[in-house]
Structure formats: structure tokens, C-alpha cells
Structure 1
């Protein structure tokens, strides 16, 4: 048997209700290696994975390290040319992996390829990620556009370029680890491509709960950490200041949306977590800058607000 080109990493936590569909779909793909990273599931997921006929390799952590932490834990074990990130609630259609591998084989300048993520009703969730004018990562739903980054729920990356760019930010736990990685790949002079035929059906929200306080805490915190690590300093400081000012004004504003990310307590916690991590983040920023072949300003100018 020819050695596979790709290791598919499936990170799971309490995935009993949906991981079987993911593994079944992977079994129909081009030959590859599968590693399931079990984030200390306590719902029977481990037994379900162990009994699956595809016999995936399993790495079980003693505690839940989140999606980012799980990916980071597996990366040193990946010896293939490519590594795929795949949500445990995503089921790739037949030909998914072949389409991604063939696309990267044909585009040596690209470090990552992103899939077409489809919701259960067939609507498009993401064909890649755009960078907004205020530094958010935003899912693109129209095919044919250039993408800044990839959706980490179903993507293929060159293993060596990922490692050279600093790997996966494990401390993010969940959310923005993909956009942060795309930033660093762009700074290293690489591109990211969108591969329309690589289709994945995604049970959005099966693993996490978008809109929950935890979702907004991780989302807001990690966006700021990403900007402090990767963006031009003026942009990072502007967005941190904007977040702090909005937080301070919320108690006196009228018509504040009834959403968790507009709760003062949650936003103060985000600011506290960012400030607590600031010394480490500034060290990371310097290291990222030393690796960069393209300036932060150029990446921002080329992609922000497109």
C-alpha cells in the first residue's frame, strides 16, 4: 500500500451523537491516516470510536483542551505531507479529501485549502474566511472569491508550513485558531485557496453552542489575542481600545442588544484574560514577526475589508 499523503485529525468532546457519521464518511475517502483526539469525553465516545470498523488511531487527553489544544497535541505525531482538520460533527462527501489534496498538489504556493461547508439543509455555511475592516474573521458563502483564510472545521494544510508558522495556538481553546493560523501563513508569504468540490455536511452547533456566553467569551477574547499576535500594532491597539470603550459605555447606553457579548461582566472577563496573557502574547508577537516574510501592514492592506 502506498503511504498516504494526509493525516486527518478529528477532535472530539462528547461526540457520541455525531462522530459515527464523520468516521463513516472518512472511511469512503482516498486512503489516509485518521487520528481521533478525544478531549476526555465522558459520554461513551471513546468506546464508540474504538469499535468503529475503520479502526482510527486514538489519542485521549486527560482533560478537555478544546479544539485548538487538541489539534496542537496531535501535530507532533503527524508525519504526512498534509494534515486535515475536521470537526467531529462534519461528514465529508465522497471525493472530499481527493479534491483538497489535488488542489494543493497543483498550487505549490498555497499552504492551506478550505472546503465548502454546507449546513444540513444544503445552505452554504462557509467557502473560506474573509478579514473584516475591524479584524473579525467572517465566513464567506459565495464561491469564486479569493479567501483570506480557511474554516478550521474542514481544511487541509501543508504540515511543514504549519509547523514553520508556529503550529496551532493551543491557548485559544476554541475559535479563531484557524484565522490566527491563516494570518501567520500569510505573513510567511503563503496563500490559502478555496476548493468548491470539497464538500462537507456540517451539523452546525452540535459540538458547541453558538451564541452562548462561553462562545462569545472565547470568540471575543481570541479575536483580540489574534490581532495582538498578528496584526499591525495600530490595528491591534485600536481594536483593544474600542472593545474597552464600548464595555465602559454599555451601562449608560440605550437599546443594548440582548446578547451575551454585550454583557458587561463577560466583556470585563475578556479584557482581564487578554491583559493577563499580554506578556506572553507580546513575546509571541515578536517571534511571529521574526518569521515573517511579508509585513503585517501589507497583509492588512491587501485583505482587511475585502
Structure 2
């Protein structure tokens, strides 16, 4: 039985998923499971015809990256679960390198890859936590990472399940940093494995910089902080977001997309509507924690 199920989440991935599946066919033996988020562009037929014959689950509606991963987690029966974007093409030996790294590091619950862009530059070797609670990609190898980039990572399945799984309600973005935070609160490590290289066609399925992109990013960062951060930090960032939203109409000149008032009001409304459930989730996360939120924040924020 293979040690890993590689989960490839796709939505309208016809133009790029073949390269991903071709690369997976050359990896150490594993189970490939494609989650099709109700694609309507022929992706399902393309995947079904691929010579590697991957298993496929076709969802009735688009549940986003986070929602698809959360939906499939109960179906994973292997020791490891790999998250892989449909526009990511791993080098030969990628999976073996990640598996060997986790096998050699029992205290680590997740291993993150080196993601390279089309021009050969580095997109991410892991995620750092900024001083105001953003998750930001690290591009310099050799530094310790707070979290993993969800575009290409390997996680221990049982540890992931025991610590709340994947926040499916996020839909897209920050599901990886939120998961890494919960793993650290439970006393686990996250490691960066530089030789595990993946070539990433960044933004093939989403549109970075779009209104939806900023809505999901801003909302999910605040939800992540409310779930995982010290209360002081979470409340400070929520109030700061609200105050800045209130004063933006008085500022002259062009504003970036994430500073548009209607977008920010929608983010605040969504956070407020989700607040009761989020506070229940926060209590549950705290109950399972073995490391305090303050300690994790002190050790990693702004590092």
C-alpha cells in the first residue's frame, strides 16, 4: 500500500492539468485522487482519459480549494496526504523527497516544497508570519518556516484530522496558514524541503489581484486570526481593519483593490456573520492546543 494520497484539486483545469498528471505518473508509487470542482470545460473527460487512470471525485458545485480538500479528507486512508495545485508540475523525485523528509523528522507534521515560477524564480519555500498576522511566502532557502504553501505540500493525515482538518469554509486562500498555525499550537513542526521542487503556473485557476482574490484574502486572514491568534492580536487587527475602512472615504487619490470600501464592508459583514461559529472553533482549537497562542505568536510573528 502506498504511503501517500496526492490530492489534486481542479476547476476548469483543462489547459494545464495534463502536465500535472504526467509528472505525478513518474513519482514514487502513490494514490492520485483528483477533486473536480464541478468544472464545465471538459476537464473531467480529460482526466478520465489520462493514461495514469487517476481516481476522480466530481463535486456537484465549486467548493474552492479549501472546501474540496475538506470534502475529501475522510476518504484518505494513507499515512500522508499531499496537497497539489492542478497547475503545479513536480520534478521527478518530488514525492519521495517529501516522504523521506517527514519519515526522518517525526516531530514535523507537514513539509513544504520549493515552488518555482515559469521564469525560474522562486515563488515560495514556505510561509512566514508577519508582524500583523499575514501569511507571506518566503523565497530564500535556509530559513525556518512558520507554515507550508498549500500549492505543494505533504501532511501527516492522522495529525491533520486530529487538529481540525481543513477549514473548508475559507473556500480559497489562507487554508494552509490556518492549518499550519493549528499544527504548531498542537506542538508539531513544519519543515521546508528545498530539493522537493515544483514548477508552478501561478494563478492559472484564480486571478490574483481580482476582487474575489482580495475578498477571500482579507476575510480569511481575519477569520484565521480569530481562530488561532492571541485574543489581543485578533481583536486589534479586526478593529484596525474596520477603522481603516471607515476613514478610506476621506482619502483622496487612487486606491488599491483591497482598499475599496464596498469590498471591505463585505469582508466585515462576512466576518461578523461567521463570528459565532468562529468563536466555537476557536474554543475547540484552544482545547486541543499544547502550546499557547501567545507562545506561537511570540516565536513566529515578524520573524
**What TM-score range do you get, normalising by the shorter chain?**
over 0.9
CA–CA distance in structure 1, aligned partners of residues 10 and 267 of structure 2: 25
Deviation at 1:219? 0.3
The Cα offsets for residues 6-57 of structure 1, whole Å up to 9 and x where unpaired, read as 0000000000000000000000100000000000000000000000000000
Instruction: Work out whether residues 112 and 156 of structure 1, in 8 Å CA contact, stay in contact via their aligned partners in 2.
Output: yes
Alignment coverage as a number of residue pairs:
303
Alignment of structure 1 residues 43-192 onto 2, 5 Å = 43-192=41-190
Deviation at 1:255? 4.0
SS of match in other structure, 2:114? strand
Partner of 2:288: 291
Q: Determine whether 1:238 maps to 2:246.
A: no
| Counterpart pick for 1:272 among 269, 273, 288 | 269
Which residues of structure 1 form unaligned runs of 5+? none
Partner of 1:6: 4
**Ranges of 4+ aligned residues in structure 1 off by more than 6 Å:** none
Which residues of structure 2 form unaligned runs of 5+? none
The Cα offsets for residues 181-210 of structure 1, whole Å up to 9 and x where unpaired, read as 000000000000000000000000101100
CA RMSD of aligned residues (A): 0.5
Q: 1:51 to 1:23 in 2, by over 3 A?
A: same
CA–CA distance in structure 1, aligned partners of residues 119 and 20 of structure 2: 17
SS of match in other structure, 1:197? strand
Deviation at 1:256? 4.8
SS of match in other structure, 2:77? coil
Q: TM-score under structure 1 normalisation?
A: 0.98
Deviation at 1:260? 1.4
Instruction: Work out whether residues 117 and 154 of structure 1, in 8 Å CA contact, stay in contact via their aligned partners in 2.
Output: yes
Q: Determine whether 1:260 maps to 2:241.
A: no
Deviation at 1:254? 3.0
